[in-house]
Amino acid sequence: MRSLRKTVLLALVASVVLVLAVLHSWPTRVYSTVDVRYRPGPGAERLLEERLPEPDPSTSTIPYRVRESVARLLARNGCVCEGESRGVNLPFAQLLFPRVSAHPLHTAFQASQLHEMKKRRAKEYQSFQMRSQTPADLLIVAEANNPLQYPTQGVEVRPLKTILIPGLALKELPRDVYTLNFSASLGTFNVAAEVEGVKVRGDGEMHMTLSSTILSSLNRQLQFITYTNTLFHPSTADTVLCACDSVQLDTEGHQALFTIKIRHGVTPKLYNTGSDADKEYNISALVTIATKTFLRYDKLQDLIDSIRQYYPTVTIVIADDSEHPKTVSGPYIEHYIMPFGKGWFAGRNLAVSQVTTKYVLWVDDDFIFTANTKLEKLVDVLEKTTLDLVGGAVREATGYTATYRQTISIEAGEEDGDCLHMRRGFHHIIQGFPHCVVTDGVINFFLARTDKVQQVGFDPRLARVAHLEFFIDGLGSLHVGSCDDVIVNHATKIKLPWGQSESDKTYAKFRYPPASSDAAHTKNGLLYFKNRFQCLTHN
Protein backbone atom coordinates (compact mmCIF):
# COMPACT_ATOMS: atom_id res chain seq x y z
CA MET A 1 0.00 0.00 0.00
CA ARG A 2 2.79 2.36 0.96
CA SER A 3 4.54 1.57 -2.30
CA LEU A 4 1.39 2.42 -4.24
CA ARG A 5 1.03 5.77 -2.45
CA LYS A 6 4.65 6.57 -3.18
CA THR A 7 4.17 5.78 -6.87
CA VAL A 8 1.05 7.95 -7.07
CA LEU A 9 2.84 10.83 -5.32
CA LEU A 10 5.80 10.66 -7.71
CA ALA A 11 3.41 10.59 -10.68
CA LEU A 12 1.61 13.72 -9.38
CA VAL A 13 4.92 15.58 -8.88
CA ALA A 14 6.08 14.63 -12.38
CA SER A 15 2.75 15.78 -13.85
CA VAL A 16 2.97 19.16 -12.10
CA VAL A 17 6.52 19.70 -13.36
CA LEU A 18 5.49 18.75 -16.89
CA VAL A 19 2.49 21.12 -16.87
CA LEU A 20 4.65 23.99 -15.57
CA ALA A 21 7.21 23.30 -18.30
CA VAL A 22 4.54 23.35 -21.01
CA LEU A 23 3.02 26.57 -19.69
CA HIS A 24 6.46 28.17 -19.45
CA SER A 25 7.51 27.37 -23.03
CA TRP A 26 4.13 27.39 -24.81
CA PRO A 27 5.09 28.48 -28.35
CA THR A 28 1.92 30.38 -29.27
CA ARG A 29 2.07 32.97 -26.52
CA VAL A 30 2.30 36.46 -27.95
CA TYR A 31 2.40 38.64 -24.85
CA SER A 32 5.36 39.12 -22.57
CA THR A 33 5.06 39.69 -18.83
CA VAL A 34 5.88 43.32 -18.01
CA ASP A 35 6.90 44.55 -14.57
CA VAL A 36 4.96 47.84 -14.13
CA ARG A 37 7.37 48.85 -11.43
CA TYR A 38 10.20 49.11 -13.93
CA ARG A 39 11.71 52.57 -14.21
CA PRO A 40 14.21 53.27 -16.99
CA GLY A 41 15.67 56.29 -15.19
CA PRO A 42 17.27 59.22 -17.05
CA GLY A 43 18.54 56.99 -19.89
CA ALA A 44 15.21 56.98 -21.74
CA GLU A 45 14.97 60.76 -21.57
CA ARG A 46 18.49 61.17 -22.97
CA LEU A 47 17.63 58.67 -25.71
CA LEU A 48 14.62 60.71 -26.76
CA GLU A 49 16.52 64.01 -26.69
CA GLU A 50 19.29 62.60 -28.89
CA ARG A 51 16.75 61.81 -31.60
CA LEU A 52 15.12 65.23 -31.64
CA PRO A 53 16.26 67.79 -34.24
CA GLU A 54 17.81 71.05 -33.12
CA PRO A 55 15.05 72.68 -31.06
CA ASP A 56 13.35 75.89 -32.08
CA PRO A 57 14.56 78.57 -29.60
CA SER A 58 10.98 79.71 -29.13
CA THR A 59 9.94 76.24 -27.94
CA SER A 60 12.98 75.34 -25.85
CA THR A 61 11.31 76.41 -22.61
CA ILE A 62 8.21 74.26 -23.15
CA PRO A 63 8.35 71.26 -20.82
CA TYR A 64 7.61 67.73 -21.97
CA ARG A 65 7.04 64.35 -20.38
CA VAL A 66 8.69 61.19 -21.65
CA ARG A 67 6.37 58.23 -22.28
CA GLU A 68 8.57 55.50 -20.88
CA SER A 69 6.69 52.65 -22.59
CA VAL A 70 7.43 54.22 -25.98
CA ALA A 71 10.93 55.50 -25.24
CA ARG A 72 12.05 52.00 -24.29
CA LEU A 73 11.16 50.83 -27.80
CA LEU A 74 13.59 53.21 -29.49
CA ALA A 75 16.76 51.62 -30.86
CA ARG A 76 19.73 51.82 -28.53
CA ASN A 77 23.15 53.03 -29.66
CA GLY A 78 24.64 49.58 -29.21
CA CYS A 79 23.48 46.05 -28.45
CA VAL A 80 24.78 44.03 -25.52
CA CYS A 81 25.62 40.33 -25.67
CA GLU A 82 23.60 39.15 -22.68
CA GLY A 83 21.63 36.01 -21.96
CA GLU A 84 19.45 34.98 -19.05
CA SER A 85 20.97 33.67 -15.84
CA ARG A 86 20.71 29.91 -15.45
CA GLY A 87 18.94 30.04 -12.09
CA VAL A 88 18.69 26.81 -10.15
CA ASN A 89 20.85 24.06 -11.63
CA LEU A 90 18.46 21.10 -11.83
CA PRO A 91 18.55 18.01 -14.06
CA PHE A 92 16.86 18.72 -17.41
CA ALA A 93 16.41 22.38 -16.40
CA GLN A 94 17.23 23.69 -19.88
CA LEU A 95 14.85 21.20 -21.46
CA LEU A 96 11.96 21.99 -19.15
CA PHE A 97 12.58 25.72 -18.66
CA PRO A 98 14.59 26.94 -21.67
CA ARG A 99 16.43 30.18 -21.09
CA VAL A 100 17.96 32.61 -23.53
CA SER A 101 21.67 32.03 -24.01
CA ALA A 102 24.17 34.43 -25.54
CA HIS A 103 27.22 33.49 -27.61
CA PRO A 104 29.97 36.02 -28.42
CA LEU A 105 30.90 35.15 -31.99
CA HIS A 106 34.43 36.59 -32.01
CA THR A 107 35.55 33.51 -30.08
CA ALA A 108 35.59 31.66 -33.40
CA PHE A 109 38.98 33.31 -33.94
CA GLN A 110 42.19 33.25 -31.96
CA ALA A 111 43.17 36.43 -30.15
CA SER A 112 46.07 36.98 -32.55
CA GLN A 113 43.66 36.87 -35.50
CA LEU A 114 40.85 39.00 -34.12
CA HIS A 115 42.37 42.46 -34.70
CA GLU A 116 43.11 41.75 -38.35
CA MET A 117 39.70 40.12 -38.77
CA LYS A 118 37.96 43.23 -37.42
CA LYS A 119 39.88 45.45 -39.84
CA ARG A 120 39.00 43.28 -42.83
CA ARG A 121 35.38 43.05 -41.77
CA ALA A 122 35.12 46.83 -41.31
CA LYS A 123 36.56 47.36 -44.79
CA GLU A 124 34.14 44.88 -46.35
CA TYR A 125 31.23 46.44 -44.49
CA GLN A 126 32.14 49.91 -45.72
CA SER A 127 32.27 48.58 -49.27
CA PHE A 128 28.89 46.89 -48.75
CA GLN A 129 27.35 50.15 -47.59
CA MET A 130 28.71 52.00 -50.60
CA ARG A 131 27.25 49.37 -52.94
CA SER A 132 23.87 49.10 -51.29
CA GLN A 133 23.06 52.68 -50.32
CA THR A 134 21.76 55.29 -52.76
CA PRO A 135 20.47 58.86 -52.49
CA ALA A 136 17.00 57.36 -52.08
CA ASP A 137 18.07 56.17 -48.62
CA LEU A 138 18.60 59.73 -47.36
CA LEU A 139 16.04 61.14 -44.96
CA ILE A 140 14.38 64.16 -46.61
CA VAL A 141 11.95 66.31 -44.65
CA ALA A 142 9.63 68.63 -46.59
CA GLU A 143 9.24 71.80 -44.58
CA ALA A 144 5.73 72.96 -43.88
CA ASN A 145 4.18 75.80 -45.95
CA ASN A 146 6.78 75.37 -48.69
CA PRO A 147 5.27 76.91 -51.84
CA LEU A 148 7.00 74.30 -54.00
CA GLN A 149 4.94 71.27 -55.03
CA TYR A 150 6.98 68.21 -56.03
CA PRO A 151 6.90 64.41 -55.95
CA THR A 152 8.46 62.96 -52.82
CA GLN A 153 8.82 59.43 -54.18
CA GLY A 154 7.56 57.05 -56.87
CA VAL A 155 9.19 58.69 -59.90
CA GLU A 156 11.12 56.23 -62.08
CA VAL A 157 12.96 56.31 -65.38
CA ARG A 158 14.59 53.49 -67.34
CA PRO A 159 18.36 53.84 -67.77
CA LEU A 160 19.29 56.41 -70.46
CA LYS A 161 15.60 57.15 -71.11
CA THR A 162 13.43 60.25 -70.68
CA ILE A 163 10.29 60.96 -68.63
CA LEU A 164 8.04 63.87 -67.78
CA ILE A 165 8.45 64.82 -64.12
CA PRO A 166 4.95 64.72 -62.59
CA GLY A 167 3.51 66.96 -59.91
CA LEU A 168 5.65 70.08 -60.28
CA ALA A 169 3.99 73.38 -59.36
CA LEU A 170 4.60 76.66 -57.56
CA LYS A 171 1.87 77.86 -55.23
CA GLU A 172 0.93 81.47 -54.47
CA LEU A 173 4.09 83.42 -53.72
CA PRO A 174 3.90 87.17 -54.49
CA ARG A 175 6.88 88.09 -56.70
CA ASP A 176 7.62 90.43 -59.58
CA VAL A 177 9.55 87.61 -61.26
CA TYR A 178 9.18 83.91 -60.46
CA THR A 179 12.38 81.87 -60.82
CA LEU A 180 12.92 78.12 -60.44
CA ASN A 181 16.27 76.29 -60.58
CA PHE A 182 16.73 72.57 -61.25
CA SER A 183 19.95 70.61 -60.53
CA ALA A 184 20.79 66.95 -61.05
CA SER A 185 23.88 64.74 -60.96
CA LEU A 186 23.02 61.73 -63.17
CA GLY A 187 20.92 63.32 -65.89
CA THR A 188 19.72 66.43 -67.69
CA PHE A 189 16.54 68.54 -67.84
CA ASN A 190 14.61 69.82 -70.80
CA VAL A 191 11.12 70.95 -71.80
CA ALA A 192 8.81 68.89 -73.98
CA ALA A 193 6.89 72.03 -74.98
CA GLU A 194 7.45 75.76 -74.62
CA VAL A 195 5.01 78.13 -72.96
CA GLU A 196 4.85 81.76 -73.96
CA GLY A 197 6.05 84.13 -71.30
CA VAL A 198 8.44 81.62 -69.70
CA LYS A 199 12.21 81.93 -70.16
CA VAL A 200 14.19 78.65 -70.13
CA ARG A 201 17.95 78.56 -69.59
CA GLY A 202 20.17 75.48 -69.42
CA ASP A 203 17.77 73.14 -71.22
CA GLY A 204 19.55 69.89 -72.07
CA GLU A 205 21.96 70.39 -69.16
CA MET A 206 22.27 69.21 -65.55
CA HIS A 207 21.24 72.65 -64.31
CA MET A 208 18.20 74.43 -65.71
CA THR A 209 16.43 77.68 -64.78
CA LEU A 210 12.86 78.76 -65.50
CA SER A 211 11.65 82.32 -65.01
CA SER A 212 8.42 84.19 -65.69
CA THR A 213 6.40 87.16 -64.49
CA ILE A 214 3.16 85.16 -64.75
CA LEU A 215 2.70 82.38 -62.20
CA SER A 216 0.06 80.48 -64.21
CA SER A 217 2.35 80.39 -67.26
CA LEU A 218 5.22 79.08 -65.15
CA ASN A 219 3.04 76.31 -63.73
CA ARG A 220 1.91 75.38 -67.23
CA GLN A 221 5.57 75.14 -68.30
CA LEU A 222 6.31 72.90 -65.30
CA GLN A 223 3.94 70.30 -66.76
CA PHE A 224 6.39 69.78 -69.63
CA ILE A 225 9.65 69.42 -67.70
CA THR A 226 11.52 66.28 -68.71
CA TYR A 227 14.37 64.40 -67.11
CA THR A 228 16.80 62.28 -69.15
CA ASN A 229 19.16 59.84 -67.50
CA THR A 230 22.65 60.22 -69.00
CA LEU A 231 24.86 58.18 -66.62
CA PHE A 232 24.06 54.49 -66.33
CA HIS A 233 24.39 53.10 -62.79
CA PRO A 234 23.27 49.52 -61.99
CA SER A 235 21.69 48.60 -58.68
CA THR A 236 23.29 46.31 -56.13
CA ALA A 237 19.99 45.31 -54.54
CA ASP A 238 17.98 42.26 -55.53
CA THR A 239 17.77 41.57 -59.30
CA VAL A 240 16.63 45.10 -60.07
CA LEU A 241 18.84 47.59 -61.92
CA CYS A 242 18.46 51.05 -60.49
CA ALA A 243 20.12 54.19 -59.27
CA CYS A 244 18.74 57.41 -57.88
CA ASP A 245 19.40 60.98 -58.85
CA SER A 246 18.90 63.70 -56.26
CA VAL A 247 17.06 66.54 -58.00
CA GLN A 248 17.41 69.94 -56.43
CA LEU A 249 14.58 72.36 -57.01
CA ASP A 250 14.76 75.84 -55.53
CA THR A 251 13.21 79.26 -55.79
CA GLU A 252 13.90 82.43 -53.86
CA GLY A 253 14.14 81.50 -50.20
CA HIS A 254 12.83 77.92 -50.67
CA GLN A 255 14.44 74.60 -51.52
CA ALA A 256 13.27 71.03 -52.04
CA LEU A 257 14.91 67.67 -52.71
CA PHE A 258 13.32 64.63 -54.33
CA THR A 259 14.59 61.47 -55.98
CA ILE A 260 14.14 59.90 -59.39
CA LYS A 261 14.81 56.17 -59.45
CA ILE A 262 16.75 54.97 -62.46
CA ARG A 263 16.25 51.27 -63.01
CA HIS A 264 15.20 48.61 -65.45
CA GLY A 265 11.76 47.14 -64.98
CA VAL A 266 11.73 43.83 -63.14
CA THR A 267 11.88 40.99 -65.65
CA PRO A 268 9.12 38.52 -64.79
CA LYS A 269 9.93 34.86 -64.25
CA LEU A 270 6.75 32.97 -65.01
CA TYR A 271 6.05 29.24 -64.84
CA ASN A 272 3.76 27.46 -67.26
CA THR A 273 2.11 24.89 -65.01
CA GLY A 274 -0.30 23.64 -67.65
CA SER A 275 -3.09 23.55 -65.07
CA ASP A 276 -6.40 25.37 -64.74
CA ALA A 277 -6.50 27.54 -61.63
CA ASP A 278 -10.21 26.78 -61.23
CA LYS A 279 -9.53 23.07 -60.89
CA GLU A 280 -7.48 20.97 -58.50
CA TYR A 281 -3.77 21.79 -58.37
CA ASN A 282 -1.52 19.75 -60.67
CA ILE A 283 1.17 18.99 -58.11
CA SER A 284 3.43 17.26 -60.64
CA ALA A 285 3.52 20.45 -62.75
CA LEU A 286 3.86 22.79 -59.79
CA VAL A 287 6.22 21.04 -57.38
CA THR A 288 9.62 19.33 -57.47
CA ILE A 289 10.77 17.47 -54.36
CA ALA A 290 14.45 18.04 -53.51
CA THR A 291 16.62 16.26 -50.97
CA LYS A 292 20.24 15.73 -50.03
CA THR A 293 21.52 12.28 -49.09
CA PHE A 294 24.72 10.99 -47.55
CA LEU A 295 25.23 7.23 -47.02
CA ARG A 296 21.64 6.56 -45.92
CA TYR A 297 20.33 4.77 -49.02
CA ASP A 298 17.92 2.61 -47.03
CA LYS A 299 16.16 5.66 -45.60
CA LEU A 300 16.26 7.42 -48.98
CA GLN A 301 14.48 4.47 -50.57
CA ASP A 302 11.82 4.56 -47.86
CA LEU A 303 11.29 8.24 -48.62
CA ILE A 304 10.95 7.60 -52.36
CA ASP A 305 8.53 4.73 -51.81
CA SER A 306 6.34 6.86 -49.56
CA ILE A 307 6.32 9.75 -52.05
CA ARG A 308 5.33 7.45 -54.89
CA GLN A 309 2.40 6.16 -52.87
CA TYR A 310 0.79 9.62 -52.95
CA TYR A 311 2.56 11.49 -55.79
CA PRO A 312 3.65 8.94 -58.44
CA THR A 313 4.67 11.48 -61.09
CA VAL A 314 6.30 14.27 -59.05
CA THR A 315 9.97 14.76 -59.93
CA ILE A 316 12.45 13.98 -57.14
CA VAL A 317 15.89 15.62 -57.30
CA ILE A 318 18.61 14.00 -55.17
CA ALA A 319 22.05 15.46 -54.41
CA ASP A 320 24.47 12.80 -53.14
CA ASP A 321 27.98 13.28 -51.71
CA SER A 322 28.55 9.73 -50.47
CA GLU A 323 32.08 8.34 -50.90
CA HIS A 324 30.88 5.31 -52.84
CA PRO A 325 27.54 6.41 -54.35
CA LYS A 326 24.97 3.82 -55.24
CA THR A 327 22.65 4.06 -58.20
CA VAL A 328 19.27 5.60 -57.41
CA SER A 329 17.01 5.43 -60.43
CA GLY A 330 13.42 5.26 -61.45
CA PRO A 331 10.72 7.30 -63.19
CA TYR A 332 10.85 11.02 -62.40
CA ILE A 333 14.07 10.69 -60.38
CA GLU A 334 17.19 12.81 -60.96
CA HIS A 335 20.28 11.66 -59.05
CA TYR A 336 23.29 14.03 -58.99
CA ILE A 337 26.67 12.86 -57.68
CA MET A 338 28.92 15.30 -55.80
CA PRO A 339 32.49 15.09 -54.52
CA PHE A 340 32.73 13.06 -51.31
CA GLY A 341 31.76 14.98 -48.19
CA LYS A 342 31.07 18.19 -50.11
CA GLY A 343 28.44 19.11 -47.59
CA TRP A 344 24.88 19.83 -46.62
CA PHE A 345 24.36 23.33 -48.04
CA ALA A 346 26.39 22.60 -51.16
CA GLY A 347 24.01 19.70 -51.81
CA ARG A 348 21.03 21.93 -51.26
CA ASN A 349 22.37 24.39 -53.82
CA LEU A 350 22.91 21.62 -56.36
CA ALA A 351 19.47 20.09 -55.86
CA VAL A 352 17.60 23.41 -56.00
CA SER A 353 19.58 24.56 -59.04
CA GLN A 354 18.04 21.73 -61.06
CA VAL A 355 14.43 22.55 -60.19
CA THR A 356 12.35 23.92 -63.06
CA THR A 357 8.90 24.00 -61.46
CA LYS A 358 7.33 26.99 -59.73
CA TYR A 359 7.77 25.46 -56.28
CA VAL A 360 10.37 23.27 -54.62
CA LEU A 361 9.60 21.08 -51.61
CA TRP A 362 12.61 20.46 -49.39
CA VAL A 363 12.68 17.21 -47.39
CA ASP A 364 15.33 15.32 -45.45
CA ASP A 365 16.24 11.90 -46.78
CA ASP A 366 14.84 10.17 -43.65
CA PHE A 367 11.32 11.60 -43.93
CA ILE A 368 8.28 9.47 -44.78
CA PHE A 369 5.16 10.76 -46.53
CA THR A 370 1.77 9.82 -45.06
CA ALA A 371 -1.86 10.66 -45.77
CA ASN A 372 -1.28 13.86 -43.75
CA THR A 373 1.46 15.06 -46.11
CA LYS A 374 -0.93 17.08 -48.27
CA LEU A 375 1.23 19.20 -50.58
CA GLU A 376 -1.95 20.70 -52.06
CA LYS A 377 -2.48 22.58 -48.79
CA LEU A 378 0.98 24.15 -48.91
CA VAL A 379 0.55 25.04 -52.57
CA ASP A 380 -2.78 26.68 -51.77
CA VAL A 381 -1.14 28.89 -49.14
CA LEU A 382 1.57 30.09 -51.55
CA GLU A 383 -0.89 30.57 -54.40
CA LYS A 384 -3.25 32.73 -52.32
CA THR A 385 -0.81 34.75 -50.20
CA THR A 386 2.34 36.82 -50.61
CA LEU A 387 4.43 34.24 -48.75
CA ASP A 388 7.60 32.98 -50.41
CA LEU A 389 8.06 29.89 -48.25
CA VAL A 390 5.81 27.85 -45.98
CA GLY A 391 6.92 25.11 -43.65
CA GLY A 392 5.00 22.09 -42.47
CA ALA A 393 5.32 19.89 -39.40
CA VAL A 394 7.47 16.84 -38.71
CA ARG A 395 6.17 13.97 -36.56
CA GLU A 396 8.87 12.08 -34.71
CA ALA A 397 8.75 8.34 -34.08
CA THR A 398 7.82 9.14 -30.46
CA GLY A 399 4.62 10.85 -31.65
CA TYR A 400 5.83 14.40 -30.93
CA THR A 401 5.10 16.85 -33.78
CA ALA A 402 7.38 19.86 -34.29
CA THR A 403 7.19 22.99 -36.47
CA TYR A 404 10.37 24.66 -35.13
CA ARG A 405 9.01 28.18 -35.71
CA GLN A 406 11.58 30.88 -35.07
CA THR A 407 11.42 34.67 -35.06
CA ILE A 408 14.65 36.33 -36.15
CA SER A 409 15.65 39.94 -35.55
CA ILE A 410 18.81 42.00 -35.82
CA GLU A 411 19.64 44.71 -33.30
CA ALA A 412 21.97 47.39 -34.63
CA GLY A 413 25.31 47.67 -32.90
CA GLU A 414 28.34 49.87 -33.31
CA GLU A 415 31.76 49.04 -34.71
CA ASP A 416 31.85 45.61 -33.05
CA GLY A 417 28.88 44.50 -35.16
CA ASP A 418 25.18 43.82 -34.72
CA CYS A 419 23.34 41.35 -32.49
CA LEU A 420 21.33 38.46 -33.91
CA HIS A 421 18.33 37.40 -31.82
CA MET A 422 16.37 34.19 -32.44
CA ARG A 423 13.34 33.17 -30.41
CA ARG A 424 10.79 30.37 -30.61
CA GLY A 425 7.43 31.56 -31.87
CA PHE A 426 5.68 33.43 -34.66
CA HIS A 427 4.25 36.84 -35.49
CA HIS A 428 0.56 36.30 -36.30
CA ILE A 429 -1.98 33.87 -37.75
CA ILE A 430 -2.68 34.04 -41.50
CA GLN A 431 -6.21 35.11 -42.27
CA GLY A 432 -8.11 32.36 -44.11
CA PHE A 433 -5.60 29.71 -42.98
CA PRO A 434 -6.21 29.09 -39.26
CA HIS A 435 -3.49 26.43 -39.06
CA CYS A 436 -0.85 28.74 -40.56
CA VAL A 437 1.21 31.58 -39.11
CA VAL A 438 3.80 34.10 -40.27
CA THR A 439 7.26 33.56 -38.82
CA ASP A 440 10.93 33.90 -39.87
CA GLY A 441 12.32 30.38 -39.72
CA VAL A 442 10.73 26.94 -40.05
CA ILE A 443 11.56 23.26 -39.80
CA ASN A 444 13.48 21.34 -42.46
CA PHE A 445 10.30 20.51 -44.37
CA PHE A 446 9.08 23.42 -46.46
CA LEU A 447 7.59 24.40 -49.82
CA ALA A 448 9.01 27.55 -51.40
CA ARG A 449 9.01 29.60 -54.56
CA THR A 450 11.95 28.19 -56.49
CA ASP A 451 13.29 31.54 -57.70
CA LYS A 452 13.30 32.99 -54.16
CA VAL A 453 15.23 30.02 -52.74
CA GLN A 454 17.73 30.25 -55.60
CA GLN A 455 18.04 33.98 -54.97
CA VAL A 456 18.96 33.56 -51.29
CA GLY A 457 21.02 30.40 -51.83
CA PHE A 458 22.78 28.16 -49.32
CA ASP A 459 26.30 28.99 -48.19
CA PRO A 460 28.37 25.91 -49.23
CA ARG A 461 30.86 26.56 -46.42
CA LEU A 462 28.25 25.18 -44.02
CA ALA A 463 28.95 21.50 -44.55
CA ARG A 464 27.15 19.28 -42.04
CA VAL A 465 25.51 21.37 -39.31
CA ALA A 466 23.27 24.16 -40.61
CA HIS A 467 19.67 25.12 -41.19
CA LEU A 468 18.59 28.50 -39.79
CA GLU A 469 21.57 30.15 -41.51
CA PHE A 470 19.53 30.02 -44.73
CA PHE A 471 16.72 31.99 -43.07
CA ILE A 472 19.21 34.44 -41.59
CA ASP A 473 20.61 35.14 -45.05
CA GLY A 474 17.03 35.48 -46.34
CA LEU A 475 15.85 37.85 -43.60
CA GLY A 476 14.17 40.82 -45.28
CA SER A 477 13.95 38.93 -48.58
CA LEU A 478 11.94 35.82 -47.68
CA HIS A 479 8.35 36.11 -46.44
CA VAL A 480 8.00 32.95 -44.36
CA GLY A 481 5.01 31.04 -43.01
CA SER A 482 4.36 27.76 -41.20
CA CYS A 483 1.38 25.38 -41.18
CA ASP A 484 0.93 22.64 -38.61
CA ASP A 485 -1.71 20.64 -40.51
CA VAL A 486 0.65 19.34 -43.23
CA ILE A 487 2.74 16.65 -41.57
CA VAL A 488 5.58 14.40 -42.70
CA ASN A 489 6.86 11.54 -40.55
CA HIS A 490 10.46 11.28 -39.38
CA ALA A 491 12.08 7.85 -39.42
CA THR A 492 13.24 6.71 -36.00
CA LYS A 493 16.75 7.76 -34.98
CA ILE A 494 16.93 5.22 -32.18
CA LYS A 495 19.40 2.49 -33.01
CA LEU A 496 21.27 0.42 -30.44
CA PRO A 497 25.08 0.59 -30.66
CA TRP A 498 25.42 -3.08 -31.56
CA GLY A 499 22.87 -2.62 -34.33
CA GLN A 500 24.77 0.16 -36.09
CA SER A 501 26.43 -0.55 -39.40
CA GLU A 502 29.72 0.98 -40.54
CA SER A 503 27.68 3.31 -42.71
CA ASP A 504 25.69 4.47 -39.66
CA LYS A 505 28.89 5.16 -37.72
CA THR A 506 30.42 7.11 -40.61
CA TYR A 507 27.25 9.15 -41.01
CA ALA A 508 27.13 9.98 -37.29
CA LYS A 509 30.76 11.14 -37.36
CA PHE A 510 29.98 13.68 -40.09
CA ARG A 511 26.48 14.63 -38.93
CA TYR A 512 27.17 15.19 -35.23
CA PRO A 513 30.59 16.82 -34.85
CA PRO A 514 31.61 17.91 -31.33
CA ALA A 515 30.87 21.48 -30.26
CA SER A 516 34.59 22.26 -30.31
CA SER A 517 35.01 21.10 -33.91
CA ASP A 518 35.86 23.15 -36.98
CA ALA A 519 32.19 23.01 -38.04
CA ALA A 520 31.06 25.04 -35.03
CA HIS A 521 33.90 27.53 -35.53
CA THR A 522 33.05 27.84 -39.21
CA LYS A 523 29.42 28.63 -38.42
CA ASN A 524 30.28 31.27 -35.81
CA GLY A 525 33.01 32.68 -38.04
CA LEU A 526 30.57 33.18 -40.91
CA LEU A 527 28.04 34.86 -38.64
CA TYR A 528 30.80 37.11 -37.32
CA PHE A 529 32.44 38.12 -40.57
CA LYS A 530 29.97 37.54 -43.42
CA ASN A 531 26.88 38.79 -41.58
CA ARG A 532 28.78 41.25 -39.34
CA PHE A 533 27.28 39.94 -36.11
CA GLN A 534 29.03 40.22 -32.78
CA CYS A 535 26.57 38.13 -30.81
CA LEU A 536 23.89 35.47 -31.16
CA THR A 537 21.12 35.01 -28.59
CA HIS A 538 18.48 32.30 -28.72
CA ASN A 539 16.26 30.14 -26.53
Each residue of 124-174: pLDDT tens digit? 788 777 766 666 666 666 665 678 888 877 788 888 888 888 888 888 767
Helix, strand, coil % in the chain, rounded to nearest 5: 30, 25, 45
pLDDT in tens, 266-299: 777 888 776 555 568 999 999 999 999 998 899 9
Burial 292-301 (b: 16+ CB within 10 A, else e): bbbbbbebbe
More confident residue, 482 or 151: 482
If you classify domain 283-538 with CATH, what class do you get?
alpha beta
> How far is residue 438's CA from residue 434's CA, in Å, rounded to a whole number?
11
More confident residue, 524 or 175: 524
DSSP letter, residue 3:
H
> How far is residue 18's CA from residue 283's CA, in Å, rounded to a whole number?
41
Residue 367, pLDDT > 90, answer: yes
Residue 237, pLDDT > 60, answer: no
Lowest model confidence (mean pLDDT) among 338-347, 349-358, 442-451 = 338-347
pLDDT in tens, 181-223: 888 888 888 888 888 899 999 998 988 999 998 888 888 888 8
Dihedral sign, Cα of residue 103, residue 109, residue 110, residue 111: negative
Task: List the one residue out of 162, 141, 132 whose CA is nearest residue 257.
Answer: 141
> How far is residue 427's CA from residue 28's CA, in Å, rounded to a whole number?
9
Residue 123, pLDDT > 70, answer: yes
Which run of H or E residues covers position 487?
strand 480-490
> How far is residue 397's CA from residue 490's CA, in Å, rounded to a whole number?
6
If you classify domain 140-263 with CATH, what class do you get?
mainly beta
Residues of the chain with CATH 2.60.40: 140-263
